[in-house]
Chain A
């Protein structure tokens, strides 16, 4: 097409093409893409460098032998040695198992308890918003703060937990010192902190379900329990999935609570997890490359949770 036009119009088309290009450039320059670029471009640059630059750099470091107080890692010699070491390290196996137990127990109990609390409060009760505020209060506190509270709660002699179970003739137990109890104690404290959060997520989900459905179920003579189980809870799928993802990611990266509770990089064996192992290898032992490889393994585990979730959200058009 162009060549035949060229033949007919001759010299005029050169100008025409330049003008065309100019017009296109002008249109591009005025397009929403370019005009809005500073708005999203600057945050994207900063966040992109920090998040994606950081991830790539971390993977690169994990392929070196970087350790100790060296100035710079040596990128000349890359191999998978650190991953081989990590996969055969018994500390990694132990912490991976603890991570898994913590993830499953913490996520499932927090979800169930949060759902229970949401159903409890999803009705006409007095001082509802005050109750809700109290249930959610732990979520406004730092893990450093709540770790202090729970350390005191679990105190052998004067802690509230042993005092309360003492009323039933049980205990006292050494919640922190006993390796087979400490993981459960940590999980219980985390459930205390997070079930208010899952409650809020479920309450938002419940409020979007119309009252007609309760009415219809009541007319059909269904009990309250049956109404929730058959009609309401199935509709909370997307709330449950979002809350579960947030809880699972939290369980994978939990560090602050454990560090603050035990005051050291090394929590007791029973509750040592991948996330604490990673930070310890890096900032206590200066094994940078090795800890970077553990961090990459953690990232891969989080990806297993996030990727399907984001794909699901994307397909639903919910992002």
Chain B
């Protein structure tokens, strides 16, 4: 908690010239909530450096005689495969998502045609459906109808060789793309609404085609929103769990994603190894925490627009 106490002191010191009880109360309440939001993360962090079985006094960091990195190195061993799998799945899925959502939002926002609102509604509705409502068909589709992990052959020609690990990850990535389109679509649409109609009209009068307007005008103007959607959607896919559990099933599987491995870590018959769990939780969250710290504003924008 050293962080919070220092900024606390700064806050009060700055108030001294115009000391005022109401203002002091305000800062105290703000700091109280900082403690509220940080404490579960803080206690996890200090616990991850303690040896299992000696993780008492949840707020205090371990003394030098207890300090250990064992849990972190064990967690890294366990999660290594998950890191590779999650990156291999999340990065392409996010990129394709951004592309498809941006083109869809362009065709349904900046190009005018009758009754397009019906299609817009179809997309927007897709944001809100609970995934449980498609989970049984989804499993059935990838197991019985289109088992990509078992390879794909047309006649006798093998188009995609069978590969349990990468095939399953490809299934997962495609699933994420399909169900991620609606929210990314809405983000792009809300942004495209702010692009001036006159600009598009002028280009049209000059004889620019639908494609030309997209590549020459809309896409270059989209850069800030592409950033927002990349950050938002990567975080979502990285953090997601239900699809991984459905398509991969076990944390022992070669294709297991990081959240799947994390959900089964540090639990055995002798009880829960909390230091290991906390270290693993931090490692699994690391990419999203880095992205969040660097791009907090874009993340907030993505959240509030969605």
Contact = CB atoms under 8 A, between A and B. Distances in A.
Interface string B76-118: 0000000000000000000000001101101110011110010
A47 B131 contact: no
Contacts, number: 299
A51 B57 contact: no
Given A61-B137, A120-B30, A160-B58, A137 B37 contact: yes
B300 A200 contact: yes
Contact of B277 (A58, A138, A152): A152
A106 interface: no
A131 B133 contact: no
Contact of A46 (B26, B56, B57, B181): B181
Q: Dominant SS at the B interface?
A: helix
Range, interface on chain A: 35 or more
Contacts of B288: 140-142
B196 interface: no
Interface stretch (A87-95, A226-234, A254-262): A254-262
Residue from the set A57, A142, A283 with the largest chain B CB neighbour count within 10 Å: A142
A134 B274 contact: no
Interface in B266-306: 267, 272, 274, 277-278, 280-281, 284-285, 288-289, 291-293, 296-297, 299-300, 303-304, 306
A238 B100 CA distance: 29
Interface in A147-198: 148-153, 155, 157-160, 163, 192, 196-197
Interface residues of B, number: 103
A76 interface: no
Contacts of A133: 292-293, 296
A120 B239 CA distance: 30
A255 B108 contact: no
A287 B40 CA distance: 38
Given A57-B137, A259-B263, A137 B124 contact: no
B304 A200 contact: yes
A106 B181 CA distance: 27
Contact of A256 (B135, B214, B241, B249): B241
A310 interface: yes
A258 B288 CA distance: 21
A270 B94 CA distance: 37
Interface in B172-207: 175, 177-179, 181-182, 185
Nearest to B22: A224
A139 interface: yes
Q: Dominant SS at the A interface?
A: helix
A275 B59 contact: no
B245 interface: yes
B136 A148 contact: no
A49 interface: yes
A263 B40 contact: no
A281 to B, nearest CB: 10
Contacts of A71: 144
A292 interface: yes
Given A50-B179, A140-B299, A295-B136, A36 B210 contact: yes
B291 to A, nearest CB: 8
B270 to A, nearest CB: 14
Contact of B179 (A51, A155, A278): A51
Contacts of A55: 129, 133-134
Contacts of B296: 129, 132-133, 136
A36 B122 contact: no
Nearest to B55: A158
A203 B297 CA distance: 13
A145 B284 contact: yes
A314 interface: yes
A219 to B, nearest CB: 20
A122 B47 CA distance: 35
Residue from the set B33, B214, B289 with the largest chain A CB neighbour count within 10 Å: B33
A249 B130 contact: yes
Nearest to A133: B296
Contacts of B178: 46-47, 49-51
A129 B112 CA distance: 39
Nearest to B4: A134
A203 to B, nearest CB: 8
Interface stretch (A8-16, A17-25, A27-35, A210-218): A27-35
Contacts of A159: 58
B182 A319 contact: no
B174 to A, nearest CB: 8
A319 B117 contact: yes
14 contacts: A35-B210, A36-B113, A51-B129, A58-B135, A71-B144, A73-B140, A126-B11, A131-B34, A135-B37, A160-B58, A200-B303, A201-B303, A260-B241, A310-B121
Given A152-B40, A259-B241, 5 more contacts: A39-B210, A47-B126, A51-B129, A145-B284, A302-B130
Please give me the 7 A-B residue pairs with the lowest Cβ-Cβ distance, nearest first: A54-B134, A39-B107, A142-B239, A40-B107, A50-B178, A253-B130, A140-B292
